């Protein structure tokens, strides 16, 4: 009797473990198929011409130059605004907030913001920035909306990176008579740099692929712009933050929703491949930079 | 374990001057009281050891002396230093900590070079004159100079544990405190490193008043002039170290040093 | 007072630094709080206008599936029934979670229990890449691969709940996986050794001990995944079919709350009922994400009580 249950248990064990491995295999295959499909169907459409010529609404053969630039512009602008705010907010939560009711309310509100669908945040941007404050569909409106998507994640990342610095480092600073603020800015922040940098780079990946928050804030059109017009107030200047600016991700969505561009599928494939490659570079870059900084900061032994 | 009368104590009246004294010091973590009416006087330029079992409140007491428990625990009672009760909200806590330095259980050098570990706090505190001399002076006082003088720009994290701890001592004395608090400074180190730190302490007591928390009774007996024995948050006995270990006045002390508990 | 005493009693540069630093960081956090609260406020005001300004009844909104806010129905009232979109949103969310959870748990078990070193090194990048792929790319792949496949297999257009769920399945897989890994890692090692020492097989240990101990964490992970699925807009919008009709099967075109918002918001005029009705959909989304949040907190509390 005992023996037979044992045999059954052994058999179940074998099958279950096999099942787990098979499911893991399926997941890996899905990823390979996804990446393979994007790169194999997309890369043949990516050429220098594709990357450097403007898109066409009604004809075939358009490129993605402006969309690519717009994506980068919004990325940079968003990071410029959200990094300092997230840093400050993360410092507050990690270093100053006492464990009390008020702090738990603050944390809950930030969690709610981070769990809001980005389309809802985009619509809020539309309501406030585009309509109420009349910034219209613009890079600026888009950057603020994406900032809202990004802030709670970046804040949490900052808090975690600071939290990971041992408490003994803070005590070392305090016991020398340094102010709490100096201890944070000169001891804790430098020690947290690897974690902070990794977080910012990963958030850059998210921003670059973001579309839902942008379709009603940065807009769905990419008017012709001039890359030689350096006057940021001129409507045709590539630097003007108040012009409508369809990004690469929005472009892919737009092409497949409107269906008026004859080679929409080819362009989407090419644009998806470009998007994925940029994001791959970002992910790999963050891993490399993160471990480089850890090594640099940590000394050779530890 | 026998039950002891925690309200009885023997406090030897040492001769002054005193660097720092406490009157009825109580420390509370929320509803839990960690220290009860601690009355201790620490003679200047002497080493006083605080001994007792884990949870006896000795570390908590020590951390209250430089207000490091601010925001963590509630501390009531008086801490008199330089004629001022420094346990008041109005007192400049940064100045207190600058004057009452601390060395911790685990070495905690900054992730900077050996030189910067000492120079950086000095710069932050505005003590910018004669930097490299002060660095050398502190490293010599902590008996570390000979081992590191040719690699001052290397990361402090590459030093051995014992060296790191002596660097932390050097860092603490570089800002010219009067009192040095040491919270089990050798418990994370090997015996040889521990001995070096004890030797360093003997050198330092010419210039500093040292209060050291230790688990190690041999260490207390070897290196301190006075010893206070803590039990369950109460100061049970304070005496000259030689007397406390040979002729303890309180039964609790006797049981502890003879190894009956703790 | 001597010099030392004066220094001890006076504020110094450090006092000012601390006050300044605290104020600066507080401003940052207050900024985020104000934005969040005003976001919720503005969307609530807009979304409630349907009910207070246009006097649409809550019953109509939640239980009717006739969505045509621009026109009057047979009863002479505008048709503002969101039941179809709400049903479709829940359908894709539940279906994708049901699909993704076993795979996510399997990957997490493989990475923490079966092959902690090699498995983690191999699969960690897989998870990171799946997270990194933007939602429009998922939607695009869904459009050119999943939808035609469904069309071939089941007939019809291929658009619908099934296509949406399959796309979301891959999108929420990494979310559920990484949170499940976190909760499996929190199961103390002595649970494992105790169970194995009693003669239990690997699978018995996993199934009866580890998964049970990690259950609240896994549930939290699933709810997180569901929250992500419920709020995902573009990828779903590209494969769902965008017809505001009650889904009668898994392969008929329908619309979710997010897809309806995405495709219609640009075509309505601010202040009119069709526009207000869309904001009401946004409000439902917002409320759902708050509910998911509460659910996560609740599971966390329950989990702690059991320990």
Tell me whether C9 touches chain B (CB under 8 Å): yes
Q: Least CB-CB distance to B155: which of A98, A182, A299?
A: A299
Helix or strand run (H / E) with residue C70: strand C67-72
Residue A268 has pLDDT above 60, yes or no: yes
Is C13 within 8 Å of B83 when comparing Cβ atoms? no
Asked if B148 and B139 touch (Cβ cutoff 8 Å), the reply is: yes
| Omega prior to B17 cis, within 30 of 0 | yes
Average pLDDT over residues A71-86: 96
Q: How many CB atoms lie within 10 A of CB C74?
A: 7
What class does CATH assign to B10-109+177-193+211-257?
alpha beta
Residues 61-90 of B with CB under 8 A from C: 81-84, 86, 90
Point out which residues pair with B79 in neighbouring strands: B22
What domains, with CATH codes, occur in chain C?
82-306 (1.10.3720.10)
Q: How many CB atoms lie within 10 A of CB B162?
A: 21
Cα A229-A235-A238 angle, rounded to 5 deg? 45
Confidence of residue A3 (pLDDT cuts 50, 70, 90): low
How far apart CA A210 and CA A144 sit, in angstroms, is 13
How far off is chain C from B193, nearest CA to CA, in Å? Answer: 34
Burial of B101 (0-12, 13-18, 19+ CB in 10 A): buried
Is A88 within 8 Å of C24 when comparing Cβ atoms? yes
Instruction: For strands B226-231 and C78-80, give the pairing.
Output: unpaired
Q: Which of A164, A165, A172 to mutate to test the interface with B (most CBs of B within 10 A)?
A: A172
- The conformational region for residue A243 under phi > 0 = left, psi -120 to 50 = alpha, else beta, is beta
CA dihedral over B81, B84, B86, B91, signed as positive or negative: negative
Tell me whether B201 touches chain A (CB under 8 Å): no
pLDDT at C96: 97
Average pLDDT over residues B18-39: 93
Q: Show the low-confidence residues of chain C (pLDDT under 50).
A: none
| Residue corresponding to tokens 């459409």 | A45
* Architecture of the A48-298 domain: Orthogonal Bundle (1.10)
Strand spans (E) along chain B: 10-11, 18-29, 32-43, 47-51, 74-81, 84-85, 100-103, 179-183, 209-213, 226-231, 234-240
Q: pLDDT tens for residues B58-74?
A: 999 999 999 999 888 99
3-state SS class at B116? helix
How far off is chain C from A232, nearest CA to CA, in Å? Answer: 28
Any idea what DSSP says for residue A95?
I
Greatest alpha-carbon span in chain C: 94
Q: Any residues with CB less than 8 A from the CB of B145 and at least 6 apart, and which?
A: B136, B139
Asked if B40 and B22 touch (Cβ cutoff 8 Å), the reply is: yes
Is B96 within 8 Å of C8 when comparing Cβ atoms? yes
Angle at which helix B191-204 crosses helix B131-141, to 10 degrees, equals 120
pLDDT at C65: 87
Q: Which of A95, A117, A246, A247 to mutate to test the interface with C (most CBs of C within 10 A)?
A: A117
Point out which residues pair with B235 in neighbouring strands: B230
Tell me whether C13 touches chain B (CB under 8 Å): yes
pLDDT at C122: 86
Residue B104 has pLDDT above 80, yes or no: yes
Among C264, C252, C292, C299, residue whose Cα is nearest residue C172: C292
- For residue B192 the two structure tokens come to 């040889």
Is C237 within 8 Å of A257 when comparing Cβ atoms? yes
- For residue A301 the two structure tokens come to 């032994």
pLDDT at C307: 57
Q: How many CB pairs under 8 A join A and C?
A: 244
Q: How many CB pairs under 8 A join A and B?
A: 71
How far apart CA B256 and CA B1 sit, in angstroms, is 11
Q: Searching chain C, which residue's CA lies closest to the CA of residue B100?
A: C8
pLDDT at A226: 84
Is B84 within 8 Å of C5 when comparing Cβ atoms? yes
How far apart CA B227 and CA B250 sit, in angstroms, is 13
How far apart CA A129 and CA A133 sit, in angstroms, is 5
Q: Searching chain A, which residue's CA lies closest to the CA of residue C101?
A: A23
Asked if C88 and C236 touch (Cβ cutoff 8 Å), the reply is: no
- The conformational region for residue B222 under phi > 0 = left, psi -120 to 50 = alpha, else beta, is alpha
Q: pLDDT tens for residues A162-173?
A: 999 999 999 999
Point out which residues pair with B103 in neighbouring strands: B182
Any idea what DSSP says for residue C205?
I
Q: Least CB-CB distance to B158: which of A190, A191, A299?
A: A299
Please give the C-alpha separations between residue C205 and each of A16, B28, B235, C109, in angstroms, as whole numbers. 12, 44, 51, 12
Any idea what DSSP says for residue B155?
B
How far off is chain A from C98, nearest CA to CA, in Å? Answer: 14
DSSP A147-200: HHHHHHHHHHHHHHHHHTS-HHHHHHHHHTT--HHHIIIIIIHHHHHHHHHHHH
- ipTM of the complex as predicted: 0.91
Which of C152-186 are b and which e, b meaning 16 or more Cβ less than 10 Å from the residue's Cβ?
eeeeeebbbbbbbbbbbbbbbbbbbbbbbbebbee
pLDDT at A61: 79
Instruction: For strands B179-183 and B209-213, give the pairing.
Output: parallel
Tell me whether B176 touches chain A (CB under 8 Å): no
Among C132, C136, C154, residue whose Cα is nearest residue C144: C136
- In this structure, what are the phi and psi dihedrals at residue A300, rounded to the nearest 5 degrees? -85, -45
pLDDT at B34: 92
pLDDT at A146: 97
- Helix-strand-coil split of chain B, %, nearest 5: 35, 25, 40
Residue A302 has pLDDT above 50, yes or no: no
Is A299 within 8 Å of B99 when comparing Cβ atoms? no
Q: Least CB-CB distance to A172: which of B95, B110, B157?
A: B110
How far apart CA A273 and CA A271 sit, in angstroms, is 5
Asked if A267 and A279 touch (Cβ cutoff 8 Å), the reply is: no
Burial of B132 (0-12, 13-18, 19+ CB in 10 A): exposed
Q: Which of A176, A181, A190, A297 to mutate to test the interface with B (most CBs of B within 10 A)?
A: A176
Average pLDDT over residues B128-148: 91
Please give the C-alpha separations between residue A243 and each of A72, A82, B161, C177, in angstroms, as whole numbers. 15, 21, 59, 40
Confidence of residue A301 (pLDDT cuts 50, 70, 90): very low
Residues of chain A positioned with their CB less than 8 A from the CB of B171: 172, 176
Is A216 within 8 Å of C265 when comparing Cβ atoms? yes
- For residue B142 the two structure tokens come to 């902590």
Please give the C-alpha separations between residue B239 and each of A184, B230, B257, in angstroms, as whole numbers. 41, 12, 14
Any idea what DSSP says for residue B8?
-
Is B82 within 8 Å of C10 when comparing Cβ atoms? no
Which runs of consecutive H residues, i.e. helices, occur in B10-130? 58-65, 93-99, 114-124
- For residue B174 the two structure tokens come to 């570089």
Higher-confidence residue of A226 and C222: namely: C222
- For residue A210 the two structure tokens come to 């973001």
Q: pLDDT tens for residues A6-15?
A: 888 888 889 9
Please give the C-alpha separations between residue A133 and each of A126, C33, C185, in angstroms, as whole numbers. 10, 20, 48
Confidence of residue A4 (pLDDT cuts 50, 70, 90): low
pLDDT at C267: 86
How far apart CA C168 and CA C161 sit, in angstroms, is 10
Q: pLDDT tens for residues C51-63?
A: 998 888 888 899 9
Q: Least CB-CB distance to A176: which of B109, B157, B175?
A: B175
Q: Searching chain C, which residue's CA lies closest to the CA of residue B97?
A: C8
DSSP A33-51: HHHHHHHHHHGGG--HHHH
Confidence of residue A298 (pLDDT cuts 50, 70, 90): low
Tell me whether B126 touches chain C (CB under 8 Å): yes
Asked if A252 and A214 touch (Cβ cutoff 8 Å), the reply is: no
Q: Searching chain C, which residue's CA lies closest to the CA of residue B86?
A: C8
Confidence of residue B184 (pLDDT cuts 50, 70, 90): very high
Residue A251 has pLDDT above 90, yes or no: yes
Please give the C-alpha separations between residue A6 and each of A1, B7, C32, C209, in angstroms, as whole numbers. 9, 63, 59, 18
How far off is chain A from C63, nearest CA to CA, in Å? Answer: 23
Tell me whether A260 touches chain C (CB under 8 Å): no
Any idea what DSSP says for residue B7?
T
Please give the C-alpha separations between residue B44 and each of A59, B14, B180, C272, in angstroms, as whole numbers. 90, 11, 11, 82
Asked if C46 and C279 touch (Cβ cutoff 8 Å), the reply is: yes
3-state SS class at B23? strand
Residues of chain A positioned with their CB less than 8 A from the CB of C123: 24, 27-28
Asked if A208 and A279 touch (Cβ cutoff 8 Å), the reply is: yes
């Amino acid at each position: 009797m005992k023996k037979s249950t044992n045999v059954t248990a052994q058999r179940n064990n074998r099958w279950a473990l096999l099942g787990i491995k098979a499911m893991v295999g399926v997941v890996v295959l899905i990823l390979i198929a996804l990446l393979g499909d994007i790169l194999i169907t997309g890369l043949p459409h990516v050429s220098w011409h594709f990357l450097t010529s403007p898109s066409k609404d009604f004809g075939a053969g358009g490129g993605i130059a402006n969309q690519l630039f717009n994506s980068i512009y919004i990325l940079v602008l968003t990071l410029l605004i959200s990094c300092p705010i997230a840093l400050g907010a993360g410092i507050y939560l990690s270093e100053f907030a006492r464990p009390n009711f008020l702090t738990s309310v603050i944390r809950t509100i930030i969690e709610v913001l981070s769990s809001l669908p980005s389309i809802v945040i985009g619509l809020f941007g539309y309501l406030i920035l585009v309509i109420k404050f009349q910034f219209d569909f613009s890079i600026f409106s888009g950057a603020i909306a994406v900032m809202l998507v990004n802030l709670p994640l970046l804040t949490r990342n900052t808090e975690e990176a600071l939290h990971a610095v041992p408490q003994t480092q803070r005590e070392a600073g305090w016991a020398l008579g340094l102010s709490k603020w100096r201890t944070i800015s000169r001891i804790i922040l430098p020690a947290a740099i690897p974690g902070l940098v990794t977080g910012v780079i990963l958030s850059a990946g998210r921003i670059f692929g973001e579309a839902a928050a942008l379709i009603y804030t940065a807009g769905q059109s990419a008017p012709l712009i001039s890359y030689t017009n350096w006057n940021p107030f001129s409507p045709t200047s590539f630097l003007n933050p108040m012009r409508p600016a369809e990004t690469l991700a929005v472009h892919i969505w737009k092409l497949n929703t409107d269906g008026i561009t004859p080679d929409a599928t080819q362009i989407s494939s090419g644009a998806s491949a470009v998007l994925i490659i940029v994001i791959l570079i970002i992910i790999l870059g963050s891993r490399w930079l993160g471990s480089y900084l850890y090594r640099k900061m940590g000394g050779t032994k530890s | 374990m026998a039950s002891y009368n925690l309200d009885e104590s023997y406090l030897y009246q040492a001769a002054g001057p005193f660097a720092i004294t406490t009157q009825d010091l109580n420390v509370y973590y929320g509803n839990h009281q960690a220290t009860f009416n601690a009355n201790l006087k620490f003679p200047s330029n002497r080493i006083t050891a605080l001994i007792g079992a884990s949870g006896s409140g000795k570390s908590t007491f020590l951390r209250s002396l430089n207000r490091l428990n601010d925001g963590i625990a509630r501390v009531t009672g008086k801490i008199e230093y330089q004629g001022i009760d420094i346990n008041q909200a109005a007192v400049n806590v940064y100045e207190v900590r600058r004057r009452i330095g601390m060395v911790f259980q685990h070495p905690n050098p900054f992730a900077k070079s050996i030189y910067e570990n000492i120079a950086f706090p000095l710069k932050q505190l505005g003590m910018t004159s004669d930097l490299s001399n002060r660095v050398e002076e502190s490293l010599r006082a902590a008996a570390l100079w000979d081992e590191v003088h040719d690699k001052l720009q290397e990361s402090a994290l590459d030093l051995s544990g014992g060296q790191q701890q002596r660097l932390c001592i050097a860092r603490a004395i570089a800002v010219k405190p009067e009192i040095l608090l040491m919270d089990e400074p050798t418990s994370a180190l090997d015996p040889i490193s521990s001995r070096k730190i004890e030797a360093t302490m003997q050198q330092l007591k010419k210039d500093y008043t040292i209060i050291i928390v230790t688990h190690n009774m041999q260490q207390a007996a070897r290196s301190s002039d006075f010893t206070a024995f803590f039990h369950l948050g109460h100061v049970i006995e304070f005496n000259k170290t030689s007397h406390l270990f040979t002729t303890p006045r309180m039964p609790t002390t006797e049981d502890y040093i003879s190894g009956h508990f703790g | 007072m001597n010099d030392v005493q004066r220094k001890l009693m006076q504020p110094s540069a450090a006092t000012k630094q601390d006050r300044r630093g605290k104020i600066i960081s507080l401003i940052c956090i207050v900024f985020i709080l104000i934005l969040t609260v005003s976001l919720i406020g503005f969307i609530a005001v807009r979304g409630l206008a349907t009910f207070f300004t246009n006097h649409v009844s809550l019953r109509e909104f939640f239980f009717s599936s006739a969505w045509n806010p621009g026109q009057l129905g047979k009863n002479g009232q505008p048709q503002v029934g969101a039941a179809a979109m709400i049903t479709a949103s829940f359908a894709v969310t539940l279906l994708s979670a049901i699909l993704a959870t076993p795979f996510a748990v399997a990957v997490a078990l493989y990475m923490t229990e079966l092959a902690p070193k090699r498995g983690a090194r191999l699969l960690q990048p897989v998870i990171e890449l799946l997270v990194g792929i933007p939602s429009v790319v998922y939607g695009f792949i869904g459009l050119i691969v999943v939808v035609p496949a469904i069309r071939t297999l089941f007939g019809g257009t291929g658009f619908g709940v099934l296509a949406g769920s399959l796309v979301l399945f891959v999108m929420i897989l990494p979310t559920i996986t990484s949170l499940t890994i976190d909760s499996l890692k929190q199961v103390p090692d002595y649970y494992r050794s105790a169970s194995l020492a009693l003669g239990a097989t690997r699978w018995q240990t996993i199934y009866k001990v580890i998964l049970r101990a990690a259950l609240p964490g896994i549930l939290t992970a699933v709810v997180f995944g569901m929250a992500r699925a419920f709020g995902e807009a573009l990828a779903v919008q590209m494969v769902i079919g965008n017809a505001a009709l009650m889904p009668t099967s898994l392969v008929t075109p329908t619309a979710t709350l997010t897809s309806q918002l995405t495709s219609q918001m640009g075509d309505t005029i601010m202040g009119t009922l069709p526009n207000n009705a869309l904001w009401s959909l946004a409000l439902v989304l917002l409320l759902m994400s708050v509910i998911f949040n509460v659910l996560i907190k609740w599971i966390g509390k329950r989990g702690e009580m059991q320990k």
